Structure 1
Amino acid sequence: MSLVLARLLQLASPALPVGAYTYSQGLEWAVEAGLVRDETSAGQWIGGVLEEGIGRFEAPLAACLQRAWNVADVGEVARLNGEFLASRESSELRAETLQMGYSLRRLLRDLDDFPLPEVLDELPETAFPTVWALAAASWRIPLADSLAAYLWSWCENQVLAALKAVPLGQTAGQRLLLQLGGRIPPVVQRALVLPEAAWSNFAPGFALASSQHETQYSRLFRS
């Protein structure tokens, strides 16, 4: 097994201590509202956000971030980081990416032989995809592979949230991951070539779910 593959698996592992498992990104409210109530509706919700939300904005932005890190274009990194923070539709989503970005930056700082670039200290706030892309670039992970892993990690966390909130069984979760995994390659290929003018973060259902979750009375997840 190559070292690059090992680093990719480490970066995509649920054991990565960034707190991703504590977030549902509005999925918990969708369960409360009855929009997600079983395996089929969970797959529709997660798959829809994957293809029409994260796949059309966060994924191509993360790809551009890794390209910028590859050539040490700190100005572009700062611009894209700011664009992503400005795109967060609710205070929960914004707090989530900042907390996860901070946690991953702290982890990388504590790892051996991982010097962090000064630009990270100069950014007042650092989004999670900004630091993820830095790790992928530093470990020389091919862009298509790192983007697929980024999306897989997101899908896995969403499925785990559905298992707890709906709730669903473990076998249902594996069926969902099998379906979602098959949808990732075309999302990656589109994200790699999608021009910035065509990026779209328009997902009103997702935004409303996240906003409603902020005042949900009883909940398991932070967002």
Structure 2
Amino acid sequence: MPLVRLLQLTSPALPVGAYTYSQGLEWAVECSRVRNETDAAQWIGDLLSCSLACFEAPLVACQMRAWAAGDDVALQRLNDDFLASRETSELRAETAQMGYSLVRLLVDLDAWSGLPGWSSRLQAIESPAFPTVWTAAATAWQVPVADALVAYLWAWLENQVMAALKAVPLGQSAGQRLLAGLGERIPELVASAVDLPEVEWSNYTPGLALASSRHETQYSRLFRS
């Protein structure tokens, strides 16, 4: 069942609105920074390696350990740190909206049935970001941390590739090549992220911050970020 639950959490059908966000990719296309499959691979790959794997993934691992240990003080701090790391209003709104939607979904699914205390712990988190809610479900459903990180990075990668297919645009075969090539990086990135000391976390990606800032005033757009 942990594997089944993990697949449910990473399914593109998860109704949290992830498909409506490009995380700056749409502006990168608008300004011709991303024009083809090669450009998309570089843009998405750099974000995967320099932001997701160096900050968000180790934070997810740390949150899962905090959920398991009952350390709700650490969970609130990590949640606040993640919110503070969102450089633009649209990136902050994205994680807040997805977190809210996942909280509602877990209630609708009766996900906490037979898991006393989990619902109240999650509801006690102020302004829960998406990773905070996602890790609550993954931990409660006894998903191993390393497996959860693989799935979390894969879900992000798949969403970015789907955004590239729409925005560049690219064909389905190009999308599969991107997933195959970039997906090969995930096991090594997870191995590095799972125990990365917090002092070494970094999401220094100024290109993403600039793209997201520009996207907020982009005249015509498909995505909310």
> Secondary structure of 2:46's match?
helix
One-letter code of the match for 1:143?
V
In the other structure, the counterpart of 1:131 is 133
Deviations 1:50-101 (A, max 9, x none): 0001111111001100111111111111110010001100000000000000
Query: What is the correspondence of 1:207-218 to structure 2 with a 5 Å cutoff?
Result: 207-218=209-220
Q: Unpaired segments of 5 or more residues in structure 1?
A: none
One-letter code of the match for 1:92?
E
* Equivalent pair of 2:67/2:139 in contact (CA under 8 Å): yes
Residue 110 (structure 1) shift? 1.5
In the other structure, the counterpart of 1:122 is 124
Deviations 1:141-174 (A, max 9, x none): 1100001100000000000000000000000000
* Equivalent pair of 2:122/2:136 in contact (CA under 8 Å): no
Using the size of structure 1 for normalisation, the TM-score is: 0.97
Q: Unpaired segments of 5 or more residues in structure 2?
A: none
* Equivalent pair of 2:150/2:186 in contact (CA under 8 Å): yes
2:79 to 75, 78, 81: 81
Using the size of structure 2 for normalisation, the TM-score is: 0.96
Q: Where has structure 1 moved over 4 Å in runs of 4 or more?
A: none
1:179 to 178, 181, 185: 181
Query: What is the correspondence of 1:27-42 to structure 2 with a 5 Å cutoff?
Result: 27-42=25-40
Deviations 1:199-221 (A, max 9, x none): 01110001111111000010000
1:159 to 161, 166, 175: 161
Deviates more, 1:110-119 or 1:11-20: 110-119
One-letter code of the match for 1:82?
D
Partner Cα distance (1:196, 1:139) in 2: 25
2:192 to 175, 190, 193: 190
RMSD: 1.0
* Equivalent pair of 2:28/2:34 in contact (CA under 8 Å): yes
Q: 1:41 to 1:22 in 2, by over 3 A?
A: same
